[in-house]
């Protein structure tokens, strides 16, 4: 971590330079993003992101994060879709203190943004999931450690996203990542099915299968081979075509695989990974224990509520674990059933057992400088529209994914229902509107991006979803995908009516 420590300590000097002699906007953004810092729409404040590898966070780390949020971000934190935690509304001059105090707790902002290796994603129930193939957490953490000590990891053409899923359900989204691993056992050997060159946003693509099976110990060689491939052959001239999937688009599938194979051979000779982590840690004692998922509204949680959770866990006479999820919430794992019920009651005023009450959404145009639509506000309006409906209706719709623009920070392309923000011209002027996506999903060998089925004005979306829930309630029992296929004509008429 020597490189990260040096950058963090030098950040104070760089901020002083920016404040005293402002550089060109592009130069300023490039530096700050490399430190996980992004200017918000209000140009006097900044978002600062802390990396939580594999979504792992300890109770002590949460306590420190809560204290720092009180000091620097108005007593609020934000859980992301990359299993990170973000501080919003931070003054630029306060970012050095924030970064240094995080570093004292072995938490870092360096490299959580910008052109480099992003937080490695991991199935949030890995190590606790009764149906998993094996616990992939140790391998994800080991990979993160190696990459953070490699200087090239911070000098890539664009962001590089890696994911480890503990089963074919692909709860870490390996099949839409730049490089993804899905746990698999073959001939009693732990290993992975490997995917590459996926990604959301503009020109999205599902990942291609790179290998049907590799031994678990080979995962580091695959990661470093792809990192070297990307470092040397990614597009450094056109930022809009700089992700790994554009190398695939340029070369074609066969040449991409062939060229990667050459980098893999070089990696085996170039790198020496001592004691690769092939044996997972012992499973947590799960007998008679359970977990709960907490989804604060739009991923934002104030420290008063966070401290209520911390105090509850701290007062238990046994240990639990905490994992950040990629759906803007977090899991408390290893709870006794009666304690899970108590904690669920404590958090019931801002989290819900129904997916429709827990949309995944980017921060939107009210915070993000490049956002087009106020996605956070739309998520709130959807929740309000369903507030007085009963469980029979609420349970009919899956989780909704909302992005305020085509960058897909709200992952609209992988939700069974997704919305992508845009601005539309009408006789009454420019309004916020959303393209509607249906039937996106992630699963090993079956990942599918949602189909764009047209657009709706933002103001019509809550009513549309409520009508859709009622229509599903009236139809014969079926999965949501089958329901959409069967009721296409009715749904199209409903959209036209709205």
Residue 434: pLDDT over 90: yes
CATH of the domain at 135: 3.30.413.10
178 within a domain of the structure (yes/no) = yes
For residue 495, the model assigns a pLDDT of 85
Q: Is the pTM of this model over 0.85?
A: yes
Greater model confidence, 488 or 331: 331
Q: Are 77 and 306 in contact (CB under 8 A)?
A: yes
For residue 282, the model assigns a pLDDT of 53
427 within a domain of the structure (yes/no) = yes
Mean per-residue pLDDT for 143-149? 94
Domain end marker among 223, 245, 270 = 270
Cα–Cα distance, 471 to 407 (Å, whole number) = 31
Query: Phi-psi category of 383—alpha, beta or left, where left has phi over 0 and alpha has psi -120 to 50?
Result: alpha
Domain end marker among 270, 291, 320 = 270
**Is the domain of 360 the same as that of 463?**
yes
User: pLDDT band at residue 478, thresholds of 50, 70 and 90?
Assistant: confident
**Is the domain of 254 the same as that of 362?**
no
Q: How many distinct structural domains can be found in the chain?
A: 2
User: Which helix (DSSP H) or strand (DSSP E) does residue 470 occupy?
Assistant: helix 461-474
Degrees (nearest 5) of the Cα angle 134, 137, 138?
100
381 within a domain of the structure (yes/no) = yes
12 within a domain of the structure (yes/no) = no
**C-beta atoms surrounding 494 within 10 Å:** 16
Structure tokens at 311: 């105090």
Residue 444: pLDDT over 70: yes
**Range with the poorest average pLDDT among 27-41, 268-282, 298-312, 378-392:** 268-282
233 within a domain of the structure (yes/no) = yes
Structure tokens at 330: 């977090």
| Residue that the structure tokens 């730049």 belong to | 178
> How far from the centroid of its chain's Cα atoms is residue 489's Cα?
34
Structure tokens at 310: 């911390």
In terms of C-beta density within 10 A (0-12 exposed, 13-18 middle, 19 or more buried), how is residue 60 classed? exposed
Q: Is 3 helix (H, G, I), strand (E, B) or coil?
A: helix
User: Which helix (DSSP H) or strand (DSSP E) does residue 334 occupy?
Assistant: strand 330-335
For residue 275, the model assigns a pLDDT of 64
In terms of C-beta density within 10 A (0-12 exposed, 13-18 middle, 19 or more buried), how is residue 197 classed? buried
Domain end marker among 252, 270, 288 = 270
User: pLDDT band at residue 274, thresholds of 50, 70 and 90?
Assistant: confident
- The whole-chain average pLDDT of the chain stands at 94
User: Which helix (DSSP H) or strand (DSSP E) does residue 403 occupy?
Assistant: strand 400-403
Provide the 8-state DSSP code for 1: -
In terms of C-beta density within 10 A (0-12 exposed, 13-18 middle, 19 or more buried), how is residue 331 classed? buried
Cα–Cα distance, 86 to 98 (Å, whole number) = 12
Report the candidate in 160, 256, 250 with the shortest Cα–Cα distance to residue 209: 256
Report the candidate in 219, 223, 161, 226 with the shortest Cα–Cα distance to residue 190: 219
**Is the domain of 247 the same as that of 365?**
no
Query: Phi-psi category of 118—alpha, beta or left, where left has phi over 0 and alpha has psi -120 to 50?
Result: beta
323 within a domain of the structure (yes/no) = no
Cα–Cα distance, 16 to 25 (Å, whole number) = 16
Q: Are 374 and 365 in contact (CB under 8 A)?
A: yes
**Is the domain of 365 the same as that of 260?**
no
User: pLDDT band at residue 428, thresholds of 50, 70 and 90?
Assistant: confident
320 within a domain of the structure (yes/no) = no
Residue 296: pLDDT over 70: yes
Helix extents (H) in 369-457: 375-385, 391-394
Size of the chain, expressed as the number of residues it contains? 498
Provide the 8-state DSSP code for 401: E
The alpha-carbon radius of gyration of the chain (Å, integer) is: 22
Residue 281: pLDDT over 60: no
Max intra-chain CA distance, the chain: 66
Cα–Cα distance, 111 to 119 (Å, whole number) = 8
Q: Is 154 helix (H, G, I), strand (E, B) or coil?
A: helix
In terms of C-beta density within 10 A (0-12 exposed, 13-18 middle, 19 or more buried), how is residue 371 classed? buried
pLDDT tens column, 345-382? 999 999 999 999 999 999 999 999 999 999 999 999 99
- Dump the DSSP string for 74-94: TTEEEE-TTS-EEEEEE-GGG
35 within a domain of the structure (yes/no) = no
Domain of 193, in residue numbers: 129-270
**Is the domain of 363 the same as that of 493?**
yes
Structure tokens at 362: 């980017």
Mean per-residue pLDDT for 426-450? 95
Mean per-residue pLDDT for 167-192? 98
For residue 246, the model assigns a pLDDT of 98
Cα–Cα distance, 74 to 89 (Å, whole number) = 7
User: pLDDT band at residue 3, thresholds of 50, 70 and 90?
Assistant: confident
């Amino acid at each position: 971590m020597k490189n990260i420590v040096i950058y963090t300590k030098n950040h104070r000097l760089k901020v002083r330079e920016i404040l005293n002699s402002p550089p060109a906007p592009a130069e300023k953004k490039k530096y700050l993003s490399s430190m996980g810092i992004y200017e918000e729409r209000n140009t006097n404040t900044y978002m600062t992101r802390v990396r939580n590898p594999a979504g792992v966070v300890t109770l002590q780390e949460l306590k420190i994060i809560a204290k720092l949020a009180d000091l620097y971000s108005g007593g609020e934190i934000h859980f992301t879709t990359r299993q990170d935690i973000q501080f919003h509304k931070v003054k630029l001059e306060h970012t050095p203190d924030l970064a240094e105090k995080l570093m004292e707790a072995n938490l870092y902002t360096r490299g959580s943004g910008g052109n480099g290796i992003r937080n490695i994603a991991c199935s949030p129930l890995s190590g606790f999931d009764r149906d998993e193939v094996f616990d992939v957490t140790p391998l994800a953490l080991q990979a993160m450690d190696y990459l953070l000590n490699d200087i090239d990891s911070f000098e890539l053409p664009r962001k590089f996203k890696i994911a480890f899923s503990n089963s074919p359900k692909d709860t870490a989204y390996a099949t839409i990542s730049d490089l993804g691993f899905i746990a698999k056992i073959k001939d009693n050997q732990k290993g992975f099915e490997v995917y590459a060159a996926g990604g959301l946003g503009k020109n999205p693509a599902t990942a291609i299968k790179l290998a049907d099976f590799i031994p678990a110990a080979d995962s580091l060689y695959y990661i470093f081979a792809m990192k070297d491939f990307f470092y040397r052959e990614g597009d450094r001239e056109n930022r809009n075509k700089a992700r790994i999937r554009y190398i695939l688009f340029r070369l074609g599938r066969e040449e991409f695989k062939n060229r990667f194979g050459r980098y893999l051979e070089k990696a085996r000779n170039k790198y020496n990974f001592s004691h690769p982590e092939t044996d997972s840690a012992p499973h947590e004692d799960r007998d008679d224990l359970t977990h709960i998922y907490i989804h604060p509204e739009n991923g934002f949680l104030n420290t008063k509520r966070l401290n209520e959770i911390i105090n509850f866990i701290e007062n238990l006479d046994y240990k639990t674990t905490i994992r950040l999820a990629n759906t803007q919430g977090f899991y408390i794992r290893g709870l006794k059933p009666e304690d899970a019920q108590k904690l669920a009651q404590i958090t019931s005023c801002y989290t819900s057992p129904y997916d429709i009450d827990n949309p995944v959404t980017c921060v939107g145009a009210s915070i993000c400088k490049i956002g087009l639509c106020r996605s956070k506000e739309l998520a709130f309006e959807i929740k309000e529209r369903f507030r007085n409906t009963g469980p029979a209706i609420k349970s009919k719709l899956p989780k909704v994914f909302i992005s305020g623009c085509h960058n897909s920070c709200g992952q609209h392309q992988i939700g069974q229902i997704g919305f992508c923000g845009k601005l539309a011209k009408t006789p009454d002027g420019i309004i916020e509107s959303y393209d509607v996506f249906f039937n996106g999903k992630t699963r090993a060998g079956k990942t599918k991006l949602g189909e764009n089925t047209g657009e709706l004005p933002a103001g019509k979306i809550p009513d549309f979803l409520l009508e859709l829930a009622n229509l599903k309630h009236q139809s014969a029992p079926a999965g949501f995908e089958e329901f959409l296929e069967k009721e296409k004509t009715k749904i199209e008429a409903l959209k036209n009516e709205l």
